[in-house]
Each structure stands twice: as C-alpha cells, then as structure tokens.
Structure 1
Amino acid sequence: MIDSKDKILAYFNSGIKKIEDFRIGIEHEKFLFDLKSNKRIDYKKILQMFSALTEFGWKPIKEKENIIGLNKEEKNITLEPGNQIELSGAKLMNIHEACAESHDYLFELKQVAKKLDLEIVSAGFDPISKLNEIPNNPKQRYELMTKDMPEGGQLSLDMMYRTCGTQLNIDYNSEKDFIKKFKVVNSLVPISIALFANSSIVEKKNSGYLSYRSKVWQNTSRGGLPSVFFEDMDFEKYADFIIKSSILFIENQNNYISGKNYSFEDFMNGKINETDNRLPTEKDLTTHLSTIFTENRLKKYIELRSIDACGWDCLCSGPAYNIGILYGNLDEAYDVVSKWDKDKIINAYLEAPKNGFNTQLMGKDLLYWAKTLLDISNKGLEKRDIFNKNNKNETLFLNHLNQIVENKMTNAHHMINKFSDENLETLYDK
C-alpha cells in the first residue's frame, strides 16, 4: 500500500537504471477520418479497424466487454477520447530501432486505412472538426473526465477530443541525473513548441497559432509548466507535488469513481468514503501519475510531452533531438539552460504557441536557441556513435529539423501554405 511519502520515493528510486540499460520509448497519436464524409470515425469503425489490424498479429485489449485497444509483443495501440489512436512503443535501444518500429506500424495502419476508406491526419490539433462533431467511445474513464476536466481548464475537452501529440520516455541513472534531466527538459519546452509546431489550422481556418495544441494544453486542467518544476526538482519535491494534487479518478472494483473532491494525500490517509476508505495501491499511484498533464512528468521514467503529432518526415526527429541532448550531451545542455531565468522561460512558454521562433528568451529568439540546441544534440548523437545497417549514425534523423531552422519554416507554416485553398485533401497524410 502507498501509505507514506517514503513509499512514493521508493517507487521513483525503483526506476533508476544503469546507463547501459537506458531505453527509448516513443508514443504517438493519429486522427482518423472517413474518406467520404471527412468526419472523424466513430467507435463502430474503430472496431472494424482493430479487427483488420489483427491480421498483422495485434490482439485485442478489453475493458469489460468492450475492445479498447490492441497489443503486440511489447507494443500497445490505445484508444483516446475522440477515437484518436496512439501507439505506445516498446522500450528500445536507439533511434534506429524506434524509427523502424514506427515505420512498421504506419505501414500496417496505412494498409488498413486504405481497406476501410479512411484517411490519417498527423497534426497536433484536429484541423477540420468542431468539438460537438466528434464521436466518443465506451472507455469508462473518459465519461468521468469529460464531466470533470472542464472545471479546471476551459480547453480541457479540446485537449481530450481534438489534440494529438508525440511523447518520448527516457530513463535516469540516479536522483541527481533525474534532477539535471528534468531541469533541462522543462527549460526546453518553449523551444520544443516552436520547433515542432504543427497545429495551425483549426476548424478549416488559420487559427493564428503555429501550435494551437500547445495553447490548448496550457488551458487544460492539471496541465501547464509549474514554476516549482524549475526549483531543482528532486524525488521528494515531486512526491510533495503529486501528493497535494487532486485525483482525477479512482478505479475501484472495475468501476471508475470521480476524485475531484480529493487529493492523493486524502487517498493515502484513507479518507475516501466511496472506496470504503481503502488505501491506494501502486497501481493507483501509477494511474495518478498518468493523469498529471504537465508538459513533462515523472513515473519510473521521465515523460516529455511538448511535441505536436507530425507525419513521417518528422516523426523520428523529435526523439532523436531529445536523445542527442539527454543521453548524448546532457552536461553541455545543462550549462546552457542553468543560466536562464525561470520566469523568462515560463513567459516564452506562454508566447511560443503563437509566436514560434520569434518568441524571445534571455535576449535571443527561439530560432537562435533551436540552432544552439540542435548543435548540442548533433554532437550528442555523434558521441553515441550508433550506426544502422547502412553505416549511418543517429544524426540522420536531425535532417528534417536542420531544414526547419535553415528555412525558418516549421510544419505549421507548411500546413498554412498548403491549405490556403481550403482543400481538405491537403490535410491528409500522403
């Protein structure tokens, strides 16, 4: 039972790994549309798609009688609130392996999409649909979230039903290593927003934002970039943060109970009558940590969550950029960000969704910092010295980002230019 802060600290400490055991985990989401109607697909169509994917070896995951995802080996496909689908990849050794995994998955997905007359959209925000047009599904937790989340953030439902992102999961080899990595990843959030912006079109119009997804997540319950994250956050400070945080929901006897009136501290003190005052298990702690929707968060590994979903041209570049920094060249990156003022970082974070590379941080624009960090990442990937069968190292995955900073044109800019004639076909993956 999780009945003390020490148990939570033990949970975080259990994630410590030797450097040689570090792994890379990538999660990425996609929107699916019906080709004929240009509408987001419903749960009935999801079931058809899941059935078709079983031909590639995927097996169904059920919640009660409902299929809510698929599993194959160490990978899962999960169902998001508006029937977005997310690949949660295996824990892999390097970017070559991770990119190959994504390539195989997208090949399977495209085969099924063609068979069922579906279109895939790889963007951070649904560029077509209004919120009230999006169908839901029978996954139990989403009913509670749909009811409770708007009370803590006015765009929470947009987050649930109209956003897609790319997430990277990384390891730490000590609490000291976690502190350094967590400071770096939080400091780099404004740069990630600008560099990976890919959600400029909203409801078939130019939103005025380059990453409208990031704007939405800034106005989502339990989200954002808390000031406390810049205070050399160690395991104990993070434990204090999540203990005081409210609970989103509690799974109890195969049902979901709203936790909006309780903090995790209440749960630890046996003060939740709806669960017969039981104490939280490790599974309850894991669930709570998964419903903290900040830009980065801690479980038994660190999750980076500030990248808009994107197509094949950039899907591998986000993980490569971050791995080069965090696994290959952490000290140099830390030396850079340790000189930054946290209030200026947070201000840049708030401005970056709209202003992109033109956002100012410490007297320089984010384009300058993107180039600086890309150079640090490139050196880190060179240092890792990991080659594929064609004798290319992981720096090849930075080519897309090098073009972005060289041309000062993000995916969001390209989306605006392509959609100038309001042809919906330009929004679909090719």
Structure 2
Amino acid sequence: MITHKEHIIKYFESGIKDVKNFKIGIEHEKFLFDEKTNKRVDYPTVLKMFSLLSEFGWKPIMEKENIIGLQKQGKSITLEPGNQIELSGDKLNNIHEACAESHDYLFELQQVTKKLNLKIVSAGFDPISTLSEVPNNPKQRYQVMTKDMPNGGSLSLDMMYRTCGTQLNLDYDSEKDFIKKFKIVNSIVPISIALFANSSIIEKKNSGFSSYRSKVWQETSRGGLPEVFFDNMDFEKYADFSINFPLLFIQNEKEYLSGSNYSFSDFMNGKISEINNRLPTEDDLTTHLSTIFTENRLKKYIELRSMDTCGWDCLCSGPAFNTGILYGNLDEAYELISKWDKNKIINAYLEAPKKGFNTELMGKDLLHWSSLLLGISRKGLLNRDILSKSNDNEAKFLNHLDKLIDNKTTNADHMIDKFSKNENLNDLYDK
C-alpha cells in the first residue's frame, strides 16, 4: 500500500537503471478519417480496423465487453477519447530500433487503412473537425474525464478529442541524474514547441498558431509548466507535488469514479468513502501519476510531452534530438540552460505556440537556441556511436531538423503554405 511519502520516493528510486540498461520508449498518436466523408472514424470502424490488425499478430485489450486497444509483444495500440490511435512502443535500446518499430507499425496501419478507405492525418491538432463532430468510444475513464476536465481548463475537451502528440520516455541512473535531466527538459519546452510545431490549421482555416496543440494544452486542466519544476526538482519534491495533486479518477475494481473532490493525499489517508476508505496500491499511484498532464512528468522514467505529432519524415527526429541531449551530451546541455531565468522560460513557453521560432528567450530567438541544442544533440549521438546494420549513426535522424533550421520554417509553415494555395483537404492527409 502507498501510505507514506517514502513509499512514493521508493517508487521513483525503483526506476534507477545502470546507463548500459537505459531504454528509449516512443508513443505517438494519429487521427483517422473516412476518405469519402472527411469525417473522423467512429468506434465501429475502429473495431473493423482492429480486426484487420489482428492479422499482423495484434491481440485485443478488453475493458468489460469492449475492445479498447491491441497489444503485441512489448507494445500496444491504445484508443484515445476521439478515436485517435496511439502506439505505445516497447522499451528499446537505441533510435535505430525505435524508428524501425514505428516504421513497421505505420506499414501495418497503412495496409489496414487502405482496405477500409481511411486516411491518416499526422498533425498535432485535428485540422478539419469541429469539437461537436468528433465521435467518442466506450472507454470508461473518458466518460469521467469528459465530465470533469472542463472545470479546470477551458480547452480540456479540445485536448482530449482534437489533439495528437509524440511522447518520449527516457531513463535516469540516479536521483542526481534525474534532477539534471528534468531541469533540462523543462527548460527546453519552448524550443520543443517551436521546433516540432505541426498544428497550424483548425477547422480548415489558418489558426494563427504554429502549434495550436500546445496552446490547447496550456488551457487544459492539470496541464502546464509548473514553476516548481525549475527548483531542482528531486524525488521528494515530486512526491510532495503528486501527493497534493488532485485526483482525476479512481479505478475501483472495474469501475471508474470521479476523483474531483480529492487529492492523492486523501487517498493515502483513507478518506475516500466512495471506495470504503481503502488505501491506494502501487497501481493506483501509477494511474495517478499518468493523469498529471504537465509538459513533462515523472513515473519510473521521465516522460517528455511537448512535441506535436508529425509525419514519417520527422517522426524519429524528436526522439533522436532529445536522446542526443539527455543520453549523449547531458553536461553541455545543462551548462547551457543553467544560465536561463525560469520566469523567462515560462514566458517563452506561453508565447511559443503562436510565435514559434520568433519567440524570444534570454535575448535570442528560439531559432538560435534550436540550432545550438541541435548541435549539442548531434555531438551526443556521435558520442553514443551506436550504428545501424548499414553503418549509420543515430545522428542521421536529425537531418529533418537541419532542414527546418536552415530554411527557418517548421512543419506548421509547410502545412499553412500547402493548404492555403487551394484549400484541398487531401493536402492535409498523409501521403
């Protein structure tokens, strides 16, 4: 049972790994549309898709009588609130393996979508649908979230039903290592927003944002970039943060109950009468930590959550960029960001969704800092010196970012340019 802060600290300590055992986990979401109607897919269509994916060895994940996802070996496909589908990848050794995993998954997905006349959109925000047009599904937790989330953030339902992101999960070898890495990943959130911006079109119009997805997350309940994250956050401080954080829902046996009136502290102290005052298990703690929707968060690894979903040309570049920094060149990155003022970082974070590369941070624009960090990352990947079967270094996955910085344009700019010429919806779909 989780009844004391020390239990949560030990939970985080159990994530400590030797450097030689560090893993890389990638999660990325996709929108699916009916090719004929340009409408988001409904749950019956998802079930048809899941049935076809079973031919590739995927097995169903059930919730009561409903299929809510698929699993194969160490990875899973999960269903998001508006039937976005997410690949939660296996824990892999390097970017070559992680990128190959994504490539294999997308190949399977494309075979299935072609058979069902579906189209994929790899963007951070649904560029076509209004919120009312997005279908839902019977996954239980989403019913609680749909009811409670708007109370703490005006765009919470847009987050749930109309956003897609790319998430990266990385390890730490000590509490000191975690402190450094967490300071870096929170400091570079504005750069991640600008560099991976890919959500400029909303409801078939130019939104005026490079990353409207990031704007939505700033207006989402339980989200944001807390100031406390910059104060050398250690395991104890994060335990305090999570203990005092409100509950989103409570999973009690097979039912989901609203947690809106309670914090995790109430749970630990046996003060939730709806569940007979039972105490939380480690599974309850894991669930709670996964409903803290900040830009980065801690479980038994660090989750980086500030990147818009993008297409195949850039899917591997975000994980490579961050892996080079955090696994290959940590000290140089830390030396750079340690000079930055946290209030200026937070201000840049608030401005980056709209201004993109033109956002100012510490007297320089984010294009400048992106270029510097890309150099640090490349050096880190070269230091790792992990080669593919064809003798390529992981640094090759940064080539897409080189082009963005050289041209001073993002995926969002390309989408605006391409779509604004003739406003053809086909231009929004993956090719």
**TM-score using structure 2 length:** 1.00
1:300-319 superposed matches below 5 A: 300-319=300-319
Please name the residue that 1:132 is paired with.
Answer: 132
Residue by residue over 1:165-206, the C-alpha shift from the partner in whole angstroms, topping out at 9 and shown as x without a partner, is: 000000000000000000000000000000000000000000
SS of residue in 2 equivalent to 1:150: helix
1: CA distance, partners of 2:144 / 2:90: 29
Please name the residue that 2:418 is paired with.
Answer: 418
**TM-score using structure 1 length:** 1.00
2: CA distance, partners of 1:156 / 1:278: 30
1:127-166 superposed matches below 5 A: 127-166=127-166
Please name the residue that 2:299 is paired with.
Answer: 299
Residue by residue over 1:277-311, the C-alpha shift from the partner in whole angstroms, topping out at 9 and shown as x without a partner, is: 00000000000000000000000000000000000
Please name the residue that 1:320 is paired with.
Answer: 320
Name stretches of at least 5 consecutive residues in structure 1 with no aligned partner: none
1:321-400 superposed matches below 5 A: 321-400=321-400
Please name the residue that 2:107 is paired with.
Answer: 107
1: CA distance, partners of 2:137 / 2:392: 43
SS of residue in 1 equivalent to 2:286: helix
Pair 1:179-2:179 in alignment: yes
1:384, CA displacement in angstroms?
0.3
2: CA distance, partners of 1:409 / 1:364: 17
SS of residue in 2 equivalent to 1:327: helix
Equivalent position amino acid for 1:423 in 2: N
2: CA distance, partners of 1:145 / 1:160: 9
1:390, CA displacement in angstroms?
1.2
2: CA distance, partners of 1:13 / 1:74: 23
Aligned residues: 430
2: CA distance, partners of 1:107 / 1:34: 18
Equivalent position amino acid for 1:427 in 2: L
1: CA distance, partners of 2:266 / 2:100: 44
Give RMSD over aligned pairs. Answer: 0.3
Please name the residue that 1:207 is paired with.
Answer: 207
2: CA distance, partners of 1:417 / 1:108: 30
1: CA distance, partners of 2:368 / 2:30: 31
1: CA distance, partners of 2:243 / 2:363: 37
Name stretches of at least 5 consecutive residues in structure 2 with no aligned partner: none
1:259, CA displacement in angstroms?
0.2
2: CA distance, partners of 1:422 / 1:238: 46
SS of residue in 1 equivalent to 2:350: helix
Pair 1:242-2:242 in alignment: yes
Pair 1:67-2:72 in alignment: no
Residue by residue over 1:363-400, the C-alpha shift from the partner in whole angstroms, topping out at 9 and shown as x without a partner, is: 00000000000000000000000111111100100000
Equivalent position amino acid for 1:318 in 2: G
Please name the residue that 1:9 is paired with.
Answer: 9
SS of residue in 1 equivalent to 2:262: coil
Residue by residue over 1:12-53, the C-alpha shift from the partner in whole angstroms, topping out at 9 and shown as x without a partner, is: 000000000000000000000000000000000000000000
Equivalent position amino acid for 1:428 in 2: Y
2: CA distance, partners of 1:247 / 1:281: 14
2: CA distance, partners of 1:93 / 1:147: 40
Equivalent position amino acid for 1:366 in 2: L
Residue by residue over 1:314-364, the C-alpha shift from the partner in whole angstroms, topping out at 9 and shown as x without a partner, is: 000000000000000000000000000000000000000000000000000
Please name the residue that 1:98 is paired with.
Answer: 98
Equivalent position amino acid for 1:41 in 2: V
SS of residue in 2 equivalent to 1:376: helix
1:245-324 superposed matches below 5 A: 245-324=245-324
Equivalent position amino acid for 1:414 in 2: H
Please name the residue that 1:21 is paired with.
Answer: 21
1: CA distance, partners of 2:299 / 2:360: 32
